[in-house]
Amino acid sequence: MDPDYHTPIRLERIDSPLKRELKELFSIDVDTCLECGKCSGGCSNAHVFDYTPRKIVQLVKLGAEETLLKMDALWICLSCQICLDRCPSGIDIPRILDHLREKARRKGIPASRPAVGLFHELMLGQIRKTGRISEIGLMLRFAAATGRYGKDAGLGIRMFLKGKLNPISAAVKKVKEVRRLYDHTADGKKA
């Protein structure tokens, strides 16, 4: 439904392959939505979302896949799972967003927030390489790529002093297994 407000949406022409996909892949049935908005009420980031969780489910029903793949909420969702926890019908909205992010990436649709996309990429690259996340390494790499060294430095130091950051991070023993997992799930492409 890319907002073309000059022509009303024709309901009889609506087709939502995405809706079928979600049902087949994850047994998510958006028709069970009660439209109560408890997901949006609980959402940590709803105030900055272009489409709140309830609207996201509604967009799935309307078959507005393009809007969903381009929306800002896709990249500022924290995946905190509150929407799922609150939903009386148990609709797994975080899973829907995961699916959409993967799909956007596969289709080459750029993240509305380039830094978020970059962060995802760096994190996955690091796991692929070592099998785990090294917070310090990831933060440094992210800072280098964005040129914003100062932004998280203060927070980094505070976290370090509280023992939340481990400077030594060894790779897991069976990194090869992790890589095989990557090759298996990422459509054979490098993540």
Partner 1 sequence: MQERTKTALVIGGGPAGMEAALRISQAGFNAVLVEKGPDLGGTLRDLHSSFPKWENPRGLIDHRIELLRKSPRVSIRTQTVITAGTRLDAGFRVRLKSLRGEGEELMDADAVVLATGFELMDVSIYGEYGYGIYPGVVTSLEFESRLRQWDHGQEEKPRGVALIQCVGSRDRSKGKPYCSKICCMYTAKQAGLVKDQFPEAQVYVFYMDYRAAGKEYEEFVRQVIEEKHVRYVRGRPAKVLPEDGRLLVRAEDTLMGIPVEAAVDVVVLASAIVPRPDTRMLAGMFCARTDEHGFIENELHEPARCADRVFFAGGCGFAVETAGALSQGAAAAAGVIALFNENG
Nearer Cβ to partner 1, position 12 or 187? 12
How many Cα atoms within 13 Å fall on the side-chain side of residue 5?
0
Main-chain phi, psi angles of 20, to 5 degrees? -65, -40
Shortest distance in whole angstroms from residue 114 CB to partner 1 = 28
| DSSP string across 63-120 | T-HHHHHH-THHHH-----HHHHH-TT---HHHHHHHHHHHHHHTTPPPSSHHHHHHH
CA-based torsion, 38, 76, 158, 118: positive or negative: positive
Nearer Cβ to partner 1, position 54 or 99? 54
Nearer Cβ to partner 1, position 89 or 112? 89
> Would you give the DSSP letter of residue 167?
S
Query: Would you tell me which residues interact with partner 1 (CB under 8 A)?
Result: 1, 3, 5, 8-12, 29, 31-32, 35, 54-55, 58-59, 62
Token pair listed for 20: 């079928």
Shortest distance in whole angstroms from residue 84 CB to partner 1 = 18
- CA dist 47 and 34 (Å) reads 21
Nearer Cβ to partner 1, position 1 or 133? 1
Largest alpha-carbon pair distance within the chain? 60
Shortest distance in whole angstroms from residue 17 CB to partner 1 = 16
Residue 27, classed as helix, strand or coil, is coil
Shortest distance in whole angstroms from residue 35 CB to partner 1 = 6
Nearer Cβ to partner 1, position 10 or 184? 10
Shortest distance in whole angstroms from residue 91 CB to partner 1 = 12
